[in-house]
Amino acid sequence: MNFQAIQALRGIAAMMVLLMHARIAVWWAKDLWNIPFISAHGMIGVSLFFCISGFIIAHVVSRSAFEPASFIVKRVWRIVPIYWIVTTLALIFWWASRFWWRDVERLGVEGIVKGYLMFPQQGFPLVNPGWSLEHEVIFYVLAAIVVPFARLVGLFIALIALWVVGRFYTGWDYHLFSYSQIYFAAGIAAYWSREVSPKILLSISFVFCLLTVFNLYKVIEVSSTIAIMITALGCSSLIAGLVSMENKGLGFPKWLVSVGDASYSIYIVHWIVLPWVGYVAYRIGGSMELWRWMAFAVCMLIGFISRKYLEIPLMKVSVIRKLYSVSPRNAKIAS
């Protein structure tokens, strides 16, 4: 199954993060418009990404032919090559223009190498969006270890248990006890719930998403633990509800699905594009609000170019194609 709902939600999540980050291109501007919710809370898009990952991995590991070794190779190949390319470009830009010099000094050689390896770090890697990939890698490793022995149910329980431990453990945990685990678990729950009536699922989603907004804007105040649970339930029921509607014939705009297809490239590449747009904006001047949206558009364009000329060709490498061994209809969700 293609799961256009998943691709559409990926597209929304990517645009939320990009719109929030686009102001970085014109960081000195004082008169930018406030984009409701997005300007202050666009990082909810990453929480949605985590839930979507949980759904996708649940779909992948539920196949009877699940093999941990090929699973890890496919997941690594899915995210690593482009991330390495972007990190290398960031280093070249640092050498040529001194962009990110503070990050380079903070990380040092060891931090840069850890960034390439996606090894969990307490601070951001050089390409800042890579922090979420560190969490994703932990999730993939857990899936490869747990699923062969305890199936998807065992993975779900393990994720919940790790998150609960994280509520009490205060030391450096290499992201093992991170809040992200509850979002991955929520994505698995969404996969299990995808056949439930969309009216029920979307009603649940509306309630929990509304509670999330109320909490973010201090209409209500709850603990961080409760806030994460509310957001996870909102994302999970939204994913399941839209997939359930798709099963009943709902279609999604092709442009939004296309953005979802390119969402990984958009998410990673935008970090090295924004400073250059900002440099041009600073030199030329004019409306910084217009430049903010120009930065958004340029990042989207380069994300699509990356998708076409990097992601797709990389997925067509013969060894990787053999590992996937799925039909074209399933390839999009499996990747």
- pLDDT tens for 111-144 read 999 999 999 999 999 999 999 999 999 999 999 9
Q: What is the pLDDT of residue 330?
A: 44
- pLDDT tens for 16-60 read 999 999 999 999 998 899 999 999 999 999 999 999 999 999 999
Contact 58, 191 (CB under 8 A): yes
Comparing 320 with 54, which gets the higher pLDDT? Answer: 54
Alpha-carbon span 261 to 226, nearest angstrom: 32
Contact 288, 31 (CB under 8 A): yes
Q: Where are the domains of the chain?
A: 4-25+38-334
Q: Measure CA 300 to chain center.
A: 16
pTM reported for the whole predicted model? 0.94
Contact 6, 58 (CB under 8 A): no
Residue 221 has pLDDT above 60, yes or no: yes
For the segment 225-251, the average pLDDT, to the nearest whole number, is: 97
Residue 322 has pLDDT above 70, yes or no: no
Give the pair of three-digit tokens for residue 271: 């970090």
For the segment 222-230, the average pLDDT, to the nearest whole number, is: 96
Residue 198 has pLDDT above 90, yes or no: yes
Q: What is the pLDDT of residue 132?
A: 97
CA distances for 193 relative to 81, 166, 201, angstroms: 33, 26, 8
Give the pair of three-digit tokens for residue 294: 């120009």
For the segment 195-204, the average pLDDT, to the nearest whole number, is: 97
Least confidently predicted of 69-73, 111-115, 176-180, 289-293: 69-73
For the segment 269-282, the average pLDDT, to the nearest whole number, is: 96
